[in-house]
């Protein structure tokens, strides 16, 4: 349970960073891109850890129950899977949240690179215009 809480806290911290307004100033984009690279790598590791916790929870909580239900043929396979998923709600929520953080890091990184490329092109154009007007 301790690891789950640690992941929740770290997830909340990264989520707060991702919710900050994006800036269009090139140095701010470069700095953000650097931070995003670290958060992208970290969120990938966090996602794997959260999935491991979810699988462990499902295994510990329901292995015997599902086996007993299957023997009695009381529930369909779909109902059994729904039961399994309902037991690890918190773990699954964390998996989903970290997965979205990972994707958001990727998208914001793409946005930063677009802003940086745009700025570089504008600098080239301004330099070209200045040199041709002289």
Q: Which two tokens stand for residue 52?
A: 């491991």
Domains for the chain: give ranges and CATH numbers: 2-60+90-133 (1.20.58)
- Provide the pLDDT for residue 96: 95
Q: What are phi and psi of 106, to 5 degrees?
A: -60, -50
pTM of the model: 0.75
Percent of the chain beyond pLDDT 70? 90
Average pLDDT over residues 36-53: 95
Q: What is the mean pLDDT of the chain?
A: 88
Per the CB < 8 A criterion, the answer to whether 48 and 7 are in contact is no
Average pLDDT over residues 49-61: 86
Q: Bigger pLDDT: 87 or 8?
A: 8
Rounded (to 5) percent helix, strand, coil in the chain: 90, 0, 10
**Given phi > 0 = left and psi -120 to 50 = alpha, else beta, which region is 23?**
beta
């Amino acid at each position: 349970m301790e690891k789950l809480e640690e992941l929740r806290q770290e997830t909340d911290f990264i989520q707060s960073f991702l919710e900050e307004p994006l800036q269009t100033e090139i140095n701010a984009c470069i700095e953000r891109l650097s931070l995003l690279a670290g958060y992208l790598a970290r969120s990938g590791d966090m996602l794997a850890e959260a999935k491991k916790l979810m699988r462990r929870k499902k295994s510990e909580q329901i292995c015997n129950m599902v086996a007993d239900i299957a023997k009695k043929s009381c529930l369909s396979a779909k109902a059994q899977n729904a039961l399994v998923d309902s037991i690890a709600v918190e773990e699954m929520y964390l998996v989903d949240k970290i997965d979205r953080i990972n994707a958001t890091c990727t998208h914001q990184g793409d946005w930063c690179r677009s802003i940086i490329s745009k700025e570089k092109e504008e600098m080239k154009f301004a330099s070209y215009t200045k040199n041709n007007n002289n």
